[in-house]
């Protein structure tokens, strides 16, 4: 292993403008030689690319890949949709998703050079976004859905279900893509978020001039509405508003879900 310290990394970051990981890699590649590492960064184009780091990467694409009993969803972010729809961009994000599905979330590091080169060749701030991977435990069913818009994936969903078949899991995945739940159940909503919402609703109700004695009941009713809007199992199923997702599932259960979407 190359001999260098945290101070060496900090110094290289200050002189080159690169991030910590790039600085560490440059020193590792050059046996801790500061000047050689600085030159290496310049030759790679990373020092110049870092100048684009402050530009907002609000576009991008999402890819999904499956590998045996695992499934992964990966987002790659860019500044423009033009770059996000380019063949090079699509190829890289598909490779990232396949690597994660096969070998885990740390596998994205295998494509660090590809990511660096793309920043240089496409001259944009390109960043890795959300990376999620599910491995199905025994008896569970996994499903994934990718919504494609204008030639690129923009909304990817993973769902894990127990006690149901692939059809039900896919219905849930489609629902999540459309309705964007934030939590699985109301028990998963952080207590501080519930307290904040209750306070907002109490102030709103009082400002509406409701009788003071009626405010607690009105607030609880509105808080239930918040849960029904944001918790997957309480949401009305997008294909049949007369039943909730919990009713759709019956005895089955959704154990977890993930949604990765560009622009959110």
- What pLDDT, on a 0 to 100 scale, did the predictor assign at position 64? 98
**Alpha-carbon distance 124 to 122, whole Å?**
6
**38: domain CATH number?**
1.10.8.10
Quote the domain boundaries for residue 132: 59-183+248-261
Q: Same domain for 45 and 68?
A: no
Question: Taking the mean position of all CA atoms in its chain, how far away is CA 156?
Answer: 9
Query: What is the helix (H) or strand (E) element at residue 260, kind and residue range?
Result: strand 253-261
131 Cβ partners below 8 Å, 6+ apart? Answer: 72, 73, 74, 75, 96, 100, 105, 108
Global pTM reads: 0.78
Q: Same domain for 85 and 147?
A: yes
Q: What is the mean pLDDT of each run of 10 residues along the chain (264 residues)?
A: 79 74 87 85 66 68 95 94 92 96 94 85 86 94 95 96 95 97 96 94 91 94 96 96 96 96 87
* Strand, coil or helix: 197: helix
Q: Same domain for 27 and 122?
A: no
Pick the last residue of a domain from 52, 67, 83: 52
Is 64 inside a domain boundary?
yes
Q: Same domain for 161 and 63?
A: yes
What is each CA distance from 104 to 43, 69, 89, 99, in whole angstroms?
31, 12, 21, 7
Number of domains present in the structure of the chain: 2
Is 1 inside a domain boundary?
no
Is 196 inside a domain boundary?
no
- What pLDDT, on a 0 to 100 scale, did the predictor assign at position 47? 64
Q: Same domain for 173 and 257?
A: yes
Is 224 inside a domain boundary?
no
140 Cβ partners below 8 Å, 6+ apart? Answer: 160, 161, 162, 255
What is each CA distance from 2 to 13, 27, 44, 211, in whole angstroms?
17, 7, 19, 71
- What pLDDT, on a 0 to 100 scale, did the predictor assign at position 231? 98
Is 227 inside a domain boundary?
no
71 Cβ partners below 8 Å, 6+ apart? Answer: 64, 65, 101, 133, 134, 142, 144, 158
- What pLDDT, on a 0 to 100 scale, did the predictor assign at position 168? 95
Is 113 inside a domain boundary?
yes
């Amino acid at each position: 292993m190359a001999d260098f310290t945290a101070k060496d990394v900090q110094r290289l970051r200050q002189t080159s403008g690169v991030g910590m990981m790039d600085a560490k890699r440059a020193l590792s590649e050059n046996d801790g030689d500061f000047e050689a590492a600085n030159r290496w960064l310049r030759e790679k184009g990373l020092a110049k690319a870092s100048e684009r780091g402050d530009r907002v990467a609000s576009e991008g694409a999402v890819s999904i890949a499956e590998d045996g009993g695992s499934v992964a969803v990966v987002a790659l972010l860019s500044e423009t949709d033009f770059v996000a729809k380019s063949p090079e961009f699509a190829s890289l994000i598909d490779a990232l998703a396949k690597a994660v599905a096969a070998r885990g979330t740390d596998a994205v590091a295998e494509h660090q050079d590809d990511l660096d080169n793309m920043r240089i060749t496409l001259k944009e701030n390109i960043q890795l976004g959300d990376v999620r991977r599910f491995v199905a435990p025994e008896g569970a069913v996994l499903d994934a859905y990718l919504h494609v818009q204008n030639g690129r994936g923009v909304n990817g969903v993973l769902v894990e279900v127990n006690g149901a078949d692939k059809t039900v899991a896919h219905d849930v995945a489609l629902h999540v893509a459309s309705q964007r739940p934030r939590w699985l159940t109301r028990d998963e909503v952080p207590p501080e978020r519930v307290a904040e919402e209750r306070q907002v609703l109490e102030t709103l109700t009082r400002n509406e001039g409701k009788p003071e004695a009626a405010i607690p009941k009105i607030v609880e009713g509105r808080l239930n509405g918040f849960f029904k809007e944001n918790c997957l199992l309480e949401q009305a199923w997008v294909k049949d508003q007369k039943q909730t997702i919990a009713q759709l599932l019956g005895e089955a259960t959704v154990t977890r879900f993930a949604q990765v979407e560009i622009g959110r």
